[in-house]
Structure 1
Amino acid sequence: MKNFKKILFILICILIAFIGGMFFMNKQTEPEITSTLIQNRIEQASDLVTTKYHYTKVGKFENSLNLNGWSIPLTNKYFILTFEGEIQLGTDLSKANVEINDSTIHVTVDKPAVISNSIDESSIEVYDETKNIFNPISVSDYKAFALEQKDKALSEAKEKGLMKTAQENTKKSIKEIVSIIPDTDEYTIEVTFKE
């Protein structure tokens, strides 16, 4: 009977040591939520593209030679151009600032900016093009007109609330990045933009 009690006592001690060790190991392996940990995870996303805006444009180019402010007759040139393009907006997350106060994670990032505004060259079609021998259409006419149309498309997109949409998408994306980190579900995530 004494041996049985000794064996039982030893088994209970081993079991307590094993359970204590497992508990201690779990505590050691759980990542501690720090602003540095969150900032590193956010920075891994680098340039975050949050919004894409597709557009289709039709524009007319018209030009004639001038002399002292007067349009010279028979030198008028014009063409109509259609094309598709895409504007991408995003945020540079390498400049993000992270602070943790109580149960709130505050992430501050730059406002979304235009990362690219490009025309799909395969979509370009030219209509109603003049063949003026006194003032021929050149490649530079097409390039200058396309740049002008890209800027116009960006202005129109901004008027339609593109920047506000980009900010909302940026907040959502950053919250998703942070919420992937284990144990952050206990925190409220707030995203604000630098002025």
Structure 2
Amino acid sequence: MDEMEEGMGALKAKLGRILTKPKVFIAGLALGGLIVAVLFISIFNNGKAAGAKEATPNTLSPSVVFERIASQNEMVSASQNYTIVDKVTDTKRFFDWFDIPFTENSFWYRYVGTIKAGVNLETAEIHTSKKKLTITMDEPYVISNTPDMKKSGALEERNNILNPIEVKDVTAFEAQCKERSESEAIKDGDLLEEARVNAEANIRAMFNSAFGDEYTVDFDYRK
């Protein structure tokens, strides 16, 4: 009995890392004016620190501003918090013909995390035509999917001595459900659209900070 209790304790500790199928997605969090200000200050301070010749806003060129924006490599422009609650069951089968009676195990789990999306600035390009700037970029994408393990955990567990929950099964389930959470965020479409809108607004704001309304800024996305 002591060995079984130790095994159950180890299993519960492992379950603290489980990802499960999305059931509830909480509305996303837009990153707005603050990120523009922070990025703008960081970009131009970095340019000065690297030994670049200081230039006043009147002598800066769009290409110089763009190079400093693109040097940040990627921009996180949308963030969505989500909560996932799901029940997982497993039953041993006899040669895939039928379920073996009295071998079912199951657990309920709550998984909380944050998905961030944005644009890749490293592959972005700028084209200038008189007073019009066109920024060409790849489509927005998911940058990270980070669990909050302080809020995540097993809600209920029903183990079975005839079919114990194994570590390898939990590990496979983690990977599968992380993919599901991202798939749901992308399928819904709102997160990537929010990332697109916010990225455009942030980049426009940085050009406006350098040149005022001297240039119009448009965006083109690669297919």
TM-score range, shorter chain: 0.7 to 0.9
The structure having more radius of gyration, on CA atoms, is 1
**Which residue number corresponds to residue 207 of structure 2?**
178
Q: For the residues of structure 1 that align with 2:131 and 2:189, how far apart are their CA atoms?
A: 36
Please, which of 44, 47, 72 is the counterpart of residue 74 of structure 2? 47
**The structure with more helix, counted as a fraction of residues:** 1
Instruction: Return 110-119 or 51-60, whichever deviates more.
Output: 110-119
Please, which of 135, 142, 150 is the counterpart of residue 107 of structure 1? 135
Q: For the residues of structure 2 that align with 1:119 and 1:55, how far apart are their CA atoms?
A: 9
Please, which of 191, 203, 206 is the counterpart of residue 162 of structure 1? 191
Query: What is the identity, as a one-letter code, of the residue corresponding to 2:77?
Result: T
Q: For the residues of structure 2 that align with 1:40 and 1:90, how far apart are their CA atoms?
A: 18
Query: What is the identity, as a one-letter code, of the residue corresponding to 1:66?
Result: R
Say if 1:34 and 1:152 are closer, same or farther in 2 by CA, change over 3 A. closer
Aligned-pair CA distance for 1:34: 4.2
Query: What is the identity, as a one-letter code, of the residue corresponding to 1:174?
Result: I
Deviations 1:136-175 (A, max 9, x none): 1123333333333333322332315222111111111221
State the aligned residue count.
Answer: 166
The answer to whether the 8 Å contact 2:106/2:157 transfers is yes
The answer to whether the 8 Å contact 1:118/1:150 transfers is no
Identity of aligned residues (%): 29
Instruction: Return 39-48 or 152-161, whichever deviates more.
Output: 152-161
Instruction: Return 142-151 or 51-60, whichever deviates more.
Output: 142-151
**Which residue number corresponds to residue 15 of structure 2?**
none
The answer to whether the 8 Å contact 2:132/2:218 transfers is yes
CA RMSD of superposed structures (Å): 2.0
**5+ residue gaps, structure 1:** 1-27
Query: What is the identity, as a one-letter code, of the residue corresponding to 1:167?
Result: R
**Which residue number corresponds to residue 145 of structure 2?**
117
Query: What is the identity, as a one-letter code, of the residue corresponding to 1:64?
Result: T
